[in-house]
Structure 1
Amino acid sequence: MPAPRSKPPFRAEHIGSLLRPKELFQKRALFEEKKCTRQDLEVLEDEAIKKVVKMQEELGFKGITDGELRRGMFFEGVFETMEGMTVIPRRPLTEFKQYVPLVSLMNAFGMKEFPSIFCTGKIKRTVPWYAKQFEYLKTLVPPEEVKNLKITVCPPTWFHQRHGSDLTYDLSIYKNDDEYFTDLAKAYQEEIAHLYSLGCRNIQFDDATFCFLCDDRMISGLKEDGVDHSSLLQTYIKAMNQCVEGREPDLVVGIHMCRGNIKGGMHCSEGGYAPIAQKLFQELNFDCFYLEYDTDRSGDFQPLKYLPPNKIAVLGLVTTKKPQLENVDELKARIYEAADIIAEGVPKRSKENALNQLCLSPQCGFASGWEGNPLTEEDERNKLALVAEVAKEVWG
């Protein structure tokens, strides 16, 4: 088993995206309607990021993000910037895999088309993805805190899952998934190395594709389509591992496994982590797993028995989908329950060591898309304050 990497000593974490303050929300709406310029929007983004950074500092959070306030959607800024990728603003829904939970939701809404990407040439990273965002964020914290700043990125599997191996890339360019993901991984490696050179030491992949592989509808659909569920899981683990190959020892990499967080706080998929936990926890070469555990549809803690001793599980027990605050004692009880299961896992370890492998966070971000979840900024602050309070009571 690989030696443990250094990790942020944070017990209170947050996933990354934060609600847009009122002024920015209104300006973003104008921008989406093409009634203001990107430069007009950036002025308010700068001020809003200052505000959300200050809030995180006041609440005691160390893994500070810019709230993804410059993005319309959490995955923006990657695929559409690369050479070889063609943006399709109105791709027919018939070219999406119908069993993917997100696509099922699109069908339920009566949608006939949706923006997407198709790979039409050899993939190459020609411009930085997040350098400008990180550079501005650096100016808002003391130099000694730069190492704690967190950048969130979308996974390399994001478009592949919804279109499958037959409709993700031109088969005259890439003959198979291995070729496609190998070149895509090179682009990720370059971006990660660039961010590291700027001082970034904390990167979080925001991923829904693994959770979708826990949904019975998805598993059944894959089977009917002649795709082996286990093989696809292995393909995605390999793709993610390739993206972080060669990273520096002090760069912490995490993954948030999301069940969907779209406009209005809706989710897409259901099912616990059991179908993927053993392979994912043991074979994905990441340092920490941000896990959603805010509702019954998330399943129980039993999959945590597969968590290796050198990795961290961040328990997303506090929901971002509704404003009601969770009970402090119940949150603490759930944390200790999770620690008990890890302690009795493979291999067994002391309860103290198991508890030290845990952190606390909200279950997801507050605004995976710019419209955000149905909470106010005050609700958001109260939720994050609750996470900080409980983490302090459990870990000191």
Structure 2
Amino acid sequence: MLDIEYDIVGSFLRTQPIQEARARYSAGELSLAGLRQVEDAEIAKLVEEEVSHGLKFVTDGEFRRRWWHLDWLKEFDGFTTKHLDKERNGVVNHIELGYITGKISYDPGRAHPEVEAFEFLKKEAAKYPGVTAKKCISGPNMILVDNYLQMGIKEVPYYGSDIDALIDDIALAYQTAIRDLYDHGCRYLQIDDTSWTYMIDENFLQKVAGLGYEKAQVLEWFRRVSTKALEGRPADMAIATHFCKGNFKGHPLFSGFYDTVAPVISQIPYDGFFVEYDDERSGSFAPWAVLKGTGATFVAGLISTKDPRLEDHDEIRRRFLEAKAVVGENIALSPQCGFASVEEGNCIDEETQWKKIDLLVSCRDFL
């Protein structure tokens, strides 16, 4: 069980100083140390603002990241990325995709930027009584998604076609990384993983079939590696997962209902499940009846981070109670995703962002 009433997913719109510093850094006009100095100052301000708006669990807004997932996955040996241009929504975007280059592992003996980022967040959160620092990382499935389903690579260095050995190594690497974060003081970890919603989208499933894979086969990969990744986890560390239907500059990537994936993902021993439900594209709450009585917390993502329209408090209450009737008493509320899965952010402004947070916190009257 995840002991929360309401929470955020993680990312916030990058502030102007962050945007300017990252642009200067990319252009070679600012050193890494200079960039970190700006990030530190803006993250400290963000944490203060999160607390002032009533949040009990705070993140660093992913202010140090370009991507919600790849910056974390680069912490693993045997994984890297390539840059390419891809058209989406009539716009050519410069993106990255990851792929396997060798044995996947995580070395706790070397410095990890993501761990250092958490240490700074924890220090800032400690300034405020009753506030907890939450670390958000991307899940192990995303390594498989990028390499096999996005890049279409079937034979990989070190493993060849032995995906079972690869799954074991990815899981072991995650076990080591989770312990490393724990040893640095992390007690609340959120594992973000959109892989499940790739597998409910009919267009993407056609691509999967074209690559020679079956849906059930891929879902079993995801279940195995995610379950193994949590083996040996510290007993006093809360670990939740979050997944939505993609969020690239405010645009969803996938469509479909959760009926076929909920029975699989619910087998993974997460303490909480943050699930997108901000519009009719998600369907009913019925698939999540499988969580009732399991002890896991269903976190209903009823507030949109990509639609500038401010939701109605009473409508949120109605839908929350509808979900509660399905999943039971272990239920909480959140936005459906972060406000900036990539550094460009969603198509809303900062004022709207904080109005959405205020709405979330105001809902504690019925939580």
* One-letter code aligned to 2:97: S
2:25 maps to: 31
Q: Does 1:363 align with 2:357?
A: no
**In terms of mean alpha carbon deviation, does 206-215 or 73-82 score higher?**
73-82
Q: Which consecutive residues of structure 2, in runs of 5 or more, have no partner in the other structure?
A: none
Q: CA deviation at 1:114?
A: 4.9
Instruction: Indicate the SS of the match to 1:303.
Output: helix
**In terms of mean alpha carbon deviation, does 81-90 or 207-216 score higher?**
81-90
Task: Choose the corresponding residue for 1:325, options 307, 310, 313.
Answer: 310
1:181-201 Cα offsets, whole Å, 9 max, x none, are 211121111111011112211
1:190-246 Cα offsets, whole Å, 9 max, x none, are 111011112211111111110111112223333344311112111101111111110
Structure 1 Cα separation of the partners of residues 18 and 80 of structure 2? 30
Q: Does 1:274 align with 2:247?
A: no
Structure 1 Cα separation of the partners of residues 246 and 276 of structure 2? 10
Task: Choose the corresponding residue for 1:315, options 300, 313, 331.
Answer: 300
Task: Choose the corresponding residue for 2:164, options 178, 185, 188.
Answer: 178
1:83 maps to: 77
For the aligned residues, what is the CA RMSD? 2.3
Instruction: Indicate the SS of the match to 1:316.
Output: strand
1:335 maps to: 320
Structure 2 Cα separation of the partners of residues 307 and 158 of structure 1? 24
Structure 2 Cα separation of the partners of residues 168 and 143 of structure 1? 48
**In terms of mean alpha carbon deviation, does 126-135 or 79-88 score higher?**
79-88
Label 1:28 to 1:129 Cα distance change in 2 as closer, same or farther (>3 A). closer
Structure 2 Cα separation of the partners of residues 168 and 81 of structure 1? 23
Task: Choose the corresponding residue for 2:353, options 380, 385, 388.
Answer: 380
Structure 2 Cα separation of the partners of residues 159 and 207 of structure 1? 10
Instruction: Indicate the SS of the match to 1:119.
Output: strand
- Normalising by structure 2, what TM-score? 0.91
Task: Choose the corresponding residue for 1:303, options 273, 280, 287.
Answer: 287
Q: CA deviation at 1:383?
A: 0.3
* One-letter code aligned to 1:148: T
Q: Is the 8 A contact 1:174 1:180 kept in 2?
A: no
Q: Does 1:14 align with 2:8?
A: yes
Matches within 5 A, 1:1-396: 5=1, 7-8=2-3, 10-90=4-84, 106=88, 109=91, 114-126=95-107, 127=110, 128=112, 130-142=114-126, 148-164=132-148, 167=153, 170=156, 172-263=158-249, 265-281=250-266, 283-309=267-293, 310-342=295-327, 354=328, 356-390=329-363, 392-395=364-367
Instruction: Indicate the SS of the match to 2:57.
Output: coil
Structure 2 Cα separation of the partners of residues 230 and 72 of structure 1? 32
Q: Is the 8 A contact 1:119 1:168 kept in 2?
A: no
Label 1:286 to 1:377 Cα distance change in 2 as closer, same or farther (>3 A). same
1:153-198 Cα offsets, whole Å, 9 max, x none, are 0111214224427616625534322111211121111111011112
- Normalising by structure 1, what TM-score? 0.85
1:2-34 Cα offsets, whole Å, 9 max, x none, are xxx5x33x2111000011122222222222333
Q: Which consecutive residues of structure 1, in runs of 5 or more, have no partner in the other structure?
A: 94-102, 343-353
Q: CA deviation at 1:129?
A: 5.2
* One-letter code aligned to 2:346: N
| Percent of pairs with identical residues | 29
Instruction: Indicate the SS of the match to 1:371.
Output: coil
Q: Is the 8 A contact 1:159 1:168 kept in 2?
A: no
Structure 2 Cα separation of the partners of residues 146 and 28 of structure 1? 32
1:261-315 Cα offsets, whole Å, 9 max, x none, are 112x11100111111112221x111111101001111222111211142111111
